[in-house]
Amino acid sequence: MAESAAPLPPGAVIGILGGGQLGRMAALAAARLGYQTHIYCPEAEAPARQVTTLGSQGAYDDEPALLAFAQAVDVVTFEFENVPASAARRLAEQVTVRPRPEILHLCRNRLREKGFCNANGVPTAPYAKIPDRAALDTALAEIGAPCVLKTSELGYDGKGQVTLQGVEAAEAAWQAVRAANAEVPAILEGFVEFRCEISVIVARGPDGSCRTYEPVENRHKNHILHQTVVPAEIPQGVARRAEEIARLLAEKLELVGLLAIEMFVTKDEQVLVNELAPRPHNSGHWSLDAAATSQFEQFIRAVAGLPLGDTARLCPAVMTNLLGDEADDWATLLAEPDTKLHLYGKTESRPGRKMGHVTRLQLRA
Ligand code: AMP
């Protein structure tokens, strides 16, 4: 579809592939700007479906259902990158898809992602493609231990990845990662002795305008994001470099939408890119309560071709994810001063499942 830079008028329908909490919070932001959202997902019941009346249930490879969805909306975006790129391409023949499907294709695969960064002069951890067991031995000799073996696709929150302390761990790591995903080559990454993990969220509109949020620090527990602390306590030069990387990648990708870039800050203050996500990101949830424009509103603004909003932070804040039964403490959390609670409407609680988050605002010095 030919791209139009004209803004989508209020009342237009934004189609979102995926029905999770990111789609839910994006749909709420869209509603505030006067848009309707149409959620397409395989589940009959999903967090995003609860907040909008338009929805379709279908698999991501169900072409007739996808084409009917394309006809019912004015633009399509997605809330997670594991939508098959083939589905996004098929949709793009019928309707504008933002970000473009090629970005989805790139960002759903760690090898392509890192290759793209390095080709544009953006450093990552050293890595190698591991199509078979022999390649693992060769790469281990080159990269050295400790290192991390990961599936190149479909792994998240630490799923499908194993840290190796030495060559003796190679066979078990290989078996574990193949069990998680044997369809695509794995990736071996050098282990980064990081000082901290940060992320930057950048938005880019169809007219090429670009806005970044300041870097935030991400703290993980059991490979799952536990807390985001904003601002990140990093030297100004490091923060500037991280934002420059975000802007460069958004431009090189010809992004229209939102891109989250997870990075490591090493002890000698290098900034290495770990992962790209072309959508709203858990590490941007703080912006709902502590920024002039939330990441969800910014996402909708970019996808709809509206002017991008101010990304200024209003106060320091700490966002904490509520996993599993941690969300049962909602009454206590609501009673805390300067604390904003967000629950995602998930009916089934499982250990490790993201049920909501709280943002604690630091309103007083
Ligand atoms: P990922 O799925 O790549 O985001 O990895 C999840 C978490 O594992 C990261 O946020 C890091 O805490 C850790 N991790 C992943 N890759 C590496 C690496 N190459 N070096 C050090 N830690 C890593």
Per-residue model confidence as pLDDT tens digits over 106-151: 999 999 999 999 999 999 999 999 999 999 999 999 999 999 999 9
d(CA 336, CA 112): 44
d(CA 101, CA 24): 22
Q: Residues of the chain with pLDDT > 90: what percent?
A: 88
For residue 156, the ligand 1 atom closest to its alpha carbon is 2
Name which of 291, 265, 286 is nearest 340 in CA terms: 286
For residue 157, the ligand 1 atom closest to its alpha carbon is 2
- Please write the tens of the pLDDT for every residue from 20-43: 999 999 999 999 999 999 999 999
What's the pLDDT band for 159 if we cut at 50, 70, 90? confident
Owner of token pair 């050293």: 126
Question: Distance, CA 93 to ligand 1 centroid (Å)?
Answer: 36
Q: Look at the chain and count its residues.
A: 365
Structure tokens given for 75: 């633009």
Residue 231 in 3-state DSSP? coil
At a CB cut-off of 8 Å and minimum separation 6, what does 132 contact?
none
Mean pLDDT of 282-295: 98
The per-residue pLDDT for 199 is: 98
Question: Distance, CA 159 to ligand 1 centroid (Å)?
Answer: 11
| CB of 192 sitting under 6 A from ligand 1 | yes
Owner of token pair 């479909």: 154
| CB of 273 sitting under 6 A from ligand 1 | no
Exposure pattern of 23-61 as b/e (b: 16+ CB <10 Å)? bbbbbbbbeeeebbbbbbbeeeebbbbbbbebbbbbebe
Residue 90 has pLDDT above 80, yes or no: yes
What's the pLDDT band for 61 if we cut at 50, 70, 90? confident
Mean pLDDT of 242-270: 98
DSSP 193: -
Q: Residues of the chain with pLDDT > 70: what percent?
A: 98
Structure tokens given for 34: 């006067």
CB atoms within 10 A of CB 152: 24
Structure tokens given for 98: 């933002």
CB atoms within 10 A of CB 329: 12
Question: Distance, CA 273 to ligand 1 centroid (Å)?
Answer: 10
- Best residue among 148, 216, 273 to mutate for probing ligand 1's pocket (most ligand atoms within 8 Å of CB) is 148
HSE of 24, CA atoms in CB hemisphere, 13 A: 19
- Radius of gyration of the chain from its Cα atoms, rounded to whole angstroms: 20
d(CA 264, CA 274): 7
DSSP 304: H
What's the pLDDT band for 86 if we cut at 50, 70, 90? confident
Mean pLDDT, rounded, of the chain: 95
Task: Estimate to the nearest angstrom the gap between the alpha carbon of 169 and the chain centroid.
Answer: 30
Q: Which residues pair with 78 in a beta bridge?
A: 17
Specify whether the CB–CB gap between 292 and 314 falls below 8 A. Answer: yes
Q: Taken in order 129, 281, 55, 4, is the CA torsion positive or negative?
A: negative
User: For 217-291, where are the alpha helices, taking DSSP H only?
Assistant: 236-252, 287-290
Low-confidence winner among 6-15, 160-169, 317-326 (lowest mean pLDDT):
160-169
CB atoms within 10 A of CB 192: 21
| CB of 191 sitting under 6 A from ligand 1 | yes
Mean pLDDT of 267-287: 97
